[in-house]
């Protein structure tokens, strides 16, 4: 069910915006876009969610996270996201250890993968989910060829162990990405253009939620 009634800008500005994620990168993205969300971690067991395709999987995970947080809200806009790198047909989340991250970089070097970001926006009113918007943004990432020494230095920072695909576009991993085809914000963790579209689907303009 989707809400199609346009909400007044003043009323929209008073809505609580909740980010259902512990990701500092997603929170920073939203803040840079003029938004001020509260953070509520979903606690969803991601290993219990399965799907035949990577794009479907990230959409299901984002929806599950949004639903888990929305159940505890009475009046809020709940945003959730999940990202996975698809490389040679396999889904890659966060590496379990440095050895796995090293192997990934050795395989990805000079090649490309597709970063899928699933995103969900749930509109909670009166303790009920009045509407929901779910979508996926897919961005092709072309990797550079870091030297073995550069890979080891990057692993030593710990950054690749904390992110899907073992790389970042907004951190220390940026020099090892040659270029992307698609939405850069989705690679960081949350598609701002898709968030704008989802808000419009609920009768809201993203500008209505800018910090006053």
Catalytic positions are: 82
Pick from 69, 187, 186, 77: nearest CA to 135: 186
User: Residue written as tokens 């898709």?
Assistant: 194
C-alpha angle with apex 46: 76 to 187, nearest 5 degrees? 75
Pick from 182, 208, 211: nearest CA to 196: 208
d(CA 28, CA 181): 22
Pick from 70, 72, 44: nearest CA to 130: 70
**3-class DSSP state for residue 131?**
strand
The answer to whether 78 and 16 have CB atoms below 8 angstroms apart is no
The answer to whether 87 and 108 have CB atoms below 8 angstroms apart is yes
d(CA 165, CA 180): 14
The answer to whether 178 and 144 have CB atoms below 8 angstroms apart is yes
């Amino acid at each position: 069910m989707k809400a199609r009634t346009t909400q007044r800008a003043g009323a929209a500005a008073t809505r609580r915006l909740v980010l259902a994620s512990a990701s500092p990168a997603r929170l920073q993205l939203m803040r840079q876009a003029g938004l001020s969300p509260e953070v509520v971690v979903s606690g969803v067991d991601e290993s219990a969610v399965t799907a035949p395709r990577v794009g479907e999987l990230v959409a299901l995970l984002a929806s599950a996270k949004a639903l888990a947080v929305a159940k505890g809200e009475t009046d809020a806009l709940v945003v959730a996201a999940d990202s996975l790198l698809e490389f040679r047909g396999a889904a890659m989340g966060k590496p379990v250890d440095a050895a796995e991250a090293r192997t990934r970089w050795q395989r990805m070097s000079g090649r490309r993968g597709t970063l899928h970001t699933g995103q969900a926006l749930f509109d909670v009113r009166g303790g009920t989910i009045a509407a929901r918007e779910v979508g996926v943004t897919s961005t092709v990432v072309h990797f550079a060829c870091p030297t073995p020494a550069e890979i080891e230095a990057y692993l030593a920072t710990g950054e690749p162990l904390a992110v899907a695909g073992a790389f970042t576009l907004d951190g220390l991993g940026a020099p090892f990405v040659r270029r992307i085809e698609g939405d850069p914000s989705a690679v960081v963790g949350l598609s701002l253009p898709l968030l704008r579209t989802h808000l419009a689907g609920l009768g809201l303009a993203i500008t209505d939620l800018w910090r006053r």
